[in-house]
Amino acid sequence: MWDFFWRRLTGLIVVMALVATLVFFLTRLAPGDPAALMLGDQASAADIAALRAVYGLDQPVLVQFGLWLKEILKGNLGQSIFLQRPVTQALMERAEPTFFLALFSVLIAALIGIPAGIVSAVWRGRLVDQIVSALAMLSANIPSFWLGLLFIQFFAVKWHLFPVAGYGDPGAPLLERLRHLVLPATVLGLVNSALITRFTRASMLDILSEDFIRTARSKGLAEGVVIWRHAFGNALIPVITVVGLTAALLVGGAIVTETVFGLPGIGNLVVSAVLRRDYPVIQGALIVVAAIYVLINLVVDLIYAWVDPRVRAQ
């Protein structure tokens, strides 16, 4: 078990090194100059050159890369060119809405997708299966921005149940801030539940045709026990992966949804940073998101080992 953990951790370091390299050079490949963008059309070439020197942008790219890596290893993601503060601080300020949005969305998606998948596998081919499959198809194909606008129109504007947009005042109590997340999390949860439904259904169908399900029935167990304990206990294993991947993707910032609901999250931060060519912010955000992505995958693997004794043994 620990062996497994350490091996995964080593792999993680390699992945992160690759990610850091990619992120740095991809960002530099984009045309445009942050100094020129900041100073506007009227700036003279000398002004721009001076500003470039302040941020070290006048040095060769490889030197910049080396300096950046050195700082990263010390835990310093650098200084935002545009926001006038450390990247770490900028990320921390934006982390809360993104974190809670991802958490609630995944919870909603799993709470819809897993039961729906089980029900449609158990009653395969029946009306309930057809309804669930149709709904899953529908929700997978609805654009989240459109569903978001629809939700705002009805739940916020017409019925005043939830706020239209934003994340409340920074000083507002946590519960008040979270109230702003109900609509966007429901939208993302619905849209993401489709994949989980399909995976759960397929996995359950697989398991339900296994020999050991017949064994469980031959013991005289109630059908509920057969489905829940014997079938779902096994079907869960691939479902965990999908839920984990969904979570990991959402941490990267649900950019469209954050924009529709005006949430000051990581997705929003990255979009504006890209528009301003704010290299340190783009790089820092991507590195952190990639690290979380890899970490979630590590957690998924650990859950795997916990659920499946065969993985544990390896």
Partner 1 sequence: MAVASDQSAFKQDGPLLAVDTLSVSFRQEDGVSTPVRDVSLTLHQGETLALVGESGSGKSVTSLAIMGLLPRPAGFISSGKIRFQTRAKQTVDLAQLSFDDMRHLRGREMAMIFQEPMTSLNPVLTIGEQIAETVRLHLGLSGRALQAHVKAQLDLVEIPDAARRMDDYPHQMSGGMRQRVMIALAMACQPSLLIADEPTTALDVTIQAQILLLIDRLRRETGMAVLFITHNLGVVAEIADRVTVMYAGQVVETAQTRPLFRKAAHPYTNALLSCLPARAKADASGLRRLVPIQGQPGVFGEACAFAPRCPHVTAVCQTKPPQLELTDGGSVRCFRWRDLA
Q: Is 129 an interacting residue with respect to partner 1 (CB under 8 A)?
A: no
* Smallest gap from residue 131 Cβ to partner 1 (A): 18
Residues in the chain: 314
Q: Is 214 an interacting residue with respect to partner 1 (CB under 8 A)?
A: yes
Stretch that binds partner 1, among 180-188, 190-198, 216-224, 254-262 (CB under 8 A): 216-224
**Which residues neighbour 306 within 8 Å (Cβ) at sequence distance 6 or greater?**
312
Instruction: Out of 221, 299, 302, 303, name the contact with partner 1 by CB under 8 A.
Output: 221
Stretch that binds partner 1, among 53-61, 185-193, 220-228, 252-260 (CB under 8 A): 220-228
**Could you give the CA distance from residue 35 to residue 128 in angstroms, rounded to a whole number?**
59
Q: Which of residues 275-314 bind partner 1 (CB under 8 A)?
A: 307-310, 313
Stretch that binds partner 1, among 7-15, 206-214, 261-269, 273-281 (CB under 8 A): 206-214
DSSP assignments along 30-62, one per residue: S---HHHHHH-TT--HHHHHHHHHHTTTTS-HH
Q: Is 70 an interacting residue with respect to partner 1 (CB under 8 A)?
A: no
Two tokens at 123? 């009653």
C-alpha dist (Å) from residue 162 to 154, 168, 178, 182, 268: 10, 12, 10, 7, 21
Helices and strands (H, E) in the chain, number of each type: 16, 0
Q: Is 31 an interacting residue with respect to partner 1 (CB under 8 A)?
A: no
Q: Is 234 an interacting residue with respect to partner 1 (CB under 8 A)?
A: yes
Chain positions contacting partner 1, by CB under 8 A: 210-212, 214-223, 229-230, 233-234, 307-310, 313
